[in-house]
Amino acid sequence: MENTPDHGRTVRNGSLAMIALGVLLFVLSLVYLIPHDMGVTSALRSRGIHASAVVTECAAVANPQDNPAGNADCRVRFTTSEGASVETGLAYVTDTVKERDTVTVVYDPRHTETAALASSIGFWNSLGRNVLDVVALVASVVMTLVGLAVHVVYRRFTRARRRSEVA
């Protein structure tokens, strides 16, 4: 009986944490991930201009042991068709380039700070990102529902237990 309150607190806190993380992931998916990925890809496919660029900097997205693919956030410098020099970060992480590489980027002439490797906006890469966005959305809903179910079941169980102790 001494462990019951600690166990109960753990179950309650765990279910509330799952609900909170599920809601956070849901909001993140709807507000940032899906609109960002779809918006960037759509803009670059519809009005993007190809340019030669030099990779100026790459920073690993995680420690090497947590990032076996070697994904990095990279910055590139290119000249627009109007002759302006632009340095910006790539819209998507990559594992295919390193500093001082010369690459082909596609940039949005309306918003020159939006640029991606030409290979990053291909069909399969876009499909992969969209699938991951949908998986994140589904995972958020599942996490929220499981957290709610555990919370409701635990509350009913503890109420029924209290009633049987009182009777």
User: Does 75 reside within a domain?
Assistant: yes
Classify residue 71: in a domain, yes or no: yes
Residue 148: its H or E element: helix 123-166
Q: Model pTM?
A: 0.58
Q: Is residue 115 part of a domain?
A: yes
Q: Is residue 19 part of a domain?
A: yes
Q: How many domains does the chain divide into?
A: 1
Residue 69 lies in domain: 10-166
Q: What would the two tokens of residue 47 be? A: 């009005």
- Token pair for residue 84? 């302006």
Q: What is the DSSP string of 65-103?
A: GG-TT--EEEEEEEE-TTS-EEEEEBSS-BSS--TT-EE
pLDDT tens track, the chain, 167 positions: 444 556 667 777 788 888 888 888 887 777 776 766 677 777 788 898 999 999 999 988 876 666 666 678 899 999 999 999 999 999 888 888 899 999 999 999 998 998 988 887 766 566 666 777 788 888 888 888 888 888 888 888 877 777 777 76
The length of the chain in residues reads 167
128: tokens are 């992969």
